[in-house]
């Protein structure tokens, strides 16, 4: 009996420990292939060269164009999702009644459950043609519509995390503001949002991390042309799109071209890892202020 108990505990421990193996596996895979890559291409070239053409005859390995593409689509997505998501969070907390909240929140969550390839289709076949009527110079593939659609996808992430943060602020603060004669708007922006600022910041950082790692929307709608630009109207390529592009092609295993996806992958991993850990740190440091 005692033995079975021990065996079961061991098995449970093993399934938990597998998650460590996954992390080790990810880091090992990315590192080993990247080390091989960087033995042929210098790190300095990788981060300073302004062209990315590993699949062409004249190969250049500057990741800046991919970083620019990723930055651009992410910035557009956040520019869409942050004002809308935060306004929703404030509205649901300070204005809406409970029954309205109970209906709206699950509906908004639907936005987060739709597969990203479906959003990509939407960006390419609906949003881009629509925007082309407003902006004549808009290319068929562009960062603008991919970023905007990605922003819509991220709205529920910002709104629900920010709402949690705002509702965690003690009621007494709100009541004190009302007692001073403040309107709901003044209470929201003068008291509640500042009090919940660390939680809101966490939601923004996690949203950025999500947008940086998003793949299918940008692969479908933003194009596959690495370009060092911040012009949202032309085709660009993100880090994630590049990995997809190479995976779809016929690049031989072990070649330098094959290794580029791991060099790009580790760059992407470092970015998201840093963002996630900054958010954990903020959460840990500021969250329990009111307990």
Partner 1 sequence: MTNADRNRLKDKAFQFFGIFCTFIGLAVLAVFLIDILIDGIGRIDWEFLNNLPSRRAHRSGIYTAWIGTLWILLLTTIIAFPLGIGAGVYLEEYGKKSRMATILEINIANLAGVPSIIYGLLGLEIFVRLMALGGSLLAGALTLSLLILPIVIVTTREAIKAVPRSIRDGSFALGASKWQTVWYQVLPASFGGILTGVILALSRAVGEAAPLIVIGALAYVPFAPASPMDEFTVLPIQIFNWISRPQAAFTTNAAAAIIVLLVITFILNGIAVYLRHKWQKRIKW
Comparing C-alpha atoms, which of 186, 189, 197, 192 is closest to residue 174? 192
**CB of 41 or CB of 188, closer to partner 1:** 188
Q: Segment 213-242, which members bind partner 1 (CB under 8 A)?
A: 213-216, 219-220, 240
Under the binding rule (CB under 8 A), the answer on residue 14 touching partner 1 is: yes
Under the binding rule (CB under 8 A), the answer on residue 184 touching partner 1 is: yes
* Cα pseudo-dihedral 198, 203, 206, 211, rounded to 10: -140
The token pair that represents 288 in the structure block: 């329990």
Span of 60-68, 190-198, 226-234, 257-265 interacting with partner 1 by CB under 8 A: 257-265
Q: Is 283 exposed, middle or buried, given 0-12, 13-18 or 19+ CB atoms closer than 10 A?
A: middle
Give the up-direction half-sphere exposure of residue 37: CA atoms within 13 A in the CB hemisphere.
26
Under 8 Å between Cβ of 202 and 224: no
Least spacing, CB of residue 134 vs partner 1, in Å: 16
**CB of 20 or CB of 98, closer to partner 1:** 20
Question: Crossing angle, helix 197-213 and helix 64-90, to 10 degrees?
Answer: 140
Residue given tokens 């840990």 in the structure block: 284
Under the binding rule (CB under 8 A), the answer on residue 281 touching partner 1 is: no
Under the binding rule (CB under 8 A), the answer on residue 248 touching partner 1 is: yes
Number of residues forming the site for partner 1 (CB under 8 A)? 83
**CB of 4 or CB of 57, closer to partner 1:** 4
**CB of 231 or CB of 283, closer to partner 1:** 283
For partner 1, the binding residue among 144, 192, 196, 243 (CB under 8 A) is 243
- Kindly write out the interface string for residues 39-58 of this chain, putting x where it contacts partner 1 by CB under 8 A and - elsewhere: --------------------
Under the binding rule (CB under 8 A), the answer on residue 117 touching partner 1 is: yes
For partner 1, the binding residue among 42, 48, 172, 247 (CB under 8 A) is 247
CA atoms of 204 and 35, how far apart (whole Å):
33
Comparing C-alpha atoms, which of 119, 212, 108 is closest to residue 160? 108
CA atoms of 247 and 227, how far apart (whole Å):
20
For partner 1, the binding residue among 40, 44, 56, 113 (CB under 8 A) is 113
Residue given tokens 């520019």 in the structure block: 79
Number of neighbours of residue 80 by Cβ within 10 angstroms:
19
For partner 1, the binding residue among 87, 167, 225, 287 (CB under 8 A) is 87
Q: Segment 132-161, which members bind partner 1 (CB under 8 A)?
A: 152, 155-156
**CB of 68 or CB of 212, closer to partner 1:** 212
Under the binding rule (CB under 8 A), the answer on residue 22 touching partner 1 is: yes
């Amino acid at each position: 009996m005692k033995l079975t108990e021990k065996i079961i505990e061991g098995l449970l421990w093993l399934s938990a420990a597998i998650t460590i193996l996954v992390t080790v596996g990810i880091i090992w895979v990315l590192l080993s292939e990247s080390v091989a890559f960087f033995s042929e291409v210098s790190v300095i070239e990788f981060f300073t060269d302004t062209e990315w053409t590993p699949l062409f005859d004249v190969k250049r390995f500057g990741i800046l164009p991919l970083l620019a593409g990723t930055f651009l689509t992410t910035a557009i997505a956040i520019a869409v999702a942050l004002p809308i998501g935060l306004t929703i969070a404030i509205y649901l907390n300070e204005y809406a009644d409970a029954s309205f909240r109970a209906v709206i929140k699950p509906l908004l969550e639907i936005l987060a459950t739709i597969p990203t390839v479906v959003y990509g289709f939407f960006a390419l076949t609906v949003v881009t043609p629509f925007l082309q009527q407003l902006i004549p110079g808009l290319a068929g593939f562009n960062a603008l519509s991919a970023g905007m659609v990605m922003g819509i996808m991220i709205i529920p992430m910002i709104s629900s995390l920010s709402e949690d943060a705002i509702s965690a602020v003690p009621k007494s603060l709100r009541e004190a503001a009302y007692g001073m004669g403040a309107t709901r708007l003044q209470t929201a922006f003068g008291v509640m949002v500042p009090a919940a600022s660390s939680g809101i910041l966490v939601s923004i950082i996690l949203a950025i991390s999500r947008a940086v790692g998003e793949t299918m929307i940008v692969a479908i709608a933003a194009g596959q042309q690495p370009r060092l630009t911040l012009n949202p109207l032309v085709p660009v390529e993100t880090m994630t799109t590049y990995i997809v592009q190479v995976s779809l092609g016929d690049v031989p295993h072990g070649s330098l071209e094959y290794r580029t996806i791991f060099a790009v992958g580790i760059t992407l991993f470092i970015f998201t890892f840093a963002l996630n850990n900054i958010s954990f740190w903020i959460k840990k440091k500021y969250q329990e202020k009111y307990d």
